[in-house]
Amino acid sequence: MERLIERLNEKHIQPSHQRIKILEILENNCDHPNVNTIYELLCKEMPTISRTTVYNTLNTFVEKGLVSALTITPEELRYDYVTIPHHHLLCRMCGRIINVEVQCSFAVKKEIEGHKIEDVQGYFKGICKECLIKGNTEK
């Protein structure tokens, strides 16, 4: 928990029990959860928390650069604890969003053709290895 408090302090975010728990969920959940998933997980431990509190906390985390917001699907915003440039795979079978390591020369550039690059978000759509192993390839 001390490490999470330190991360919040580094980003000039006042640590609170709710903020620490939300950050803990993001750190421990590699599937890039959405607001509803985070809210449902928190309700088990904090039944009085509101969805609005979760939403506002996540917005603060994104604004301060503590987490990234992913817009891979138009239906929902997902959140990523890993903020260094990396790519994602959206599995069309199970819906999971998975971090993938891909060498991309554009991901490290600060300028392309005279344009200032501030953020790079790359993703792939396909079938994850877990679904392939299970033979889950037809929807």
* Statement: residue 121 has pLDDT above 90: no
| pLDDT, tens only, 74-109 | 788 999 998 887 889 999 999 899 988 887 766 666
Fold held by 2-67? Arc Repressor Mutant, subunit A (1.10.10)
- The residues, ordered by sequence, that sit 6+ positions from 54 with a Cβ below 8 Å of its Cβ are 22, 35, 38, 39, 42
pLDDT confidence of residue 27: 94
Q: Are 21 and 45 in contact (CB under 8 A)?
A: yes
- Domains of the chain, by residue range, sit at 2-67, 87-134
pLDDT for 20-55, tens place per residue?
Answer: 999 999 999 888 999 999 999 999 999 999 999 999
Is 90 exceeded by the pLDDT of residue 67?
A: yes
Of 19, 95, 20, give the one whose Cα is nearest residue 57. Answer: 19
At 71, is the pLDDT very low, low, confident or very high (cuts 50, 70, 90)?
A: confident
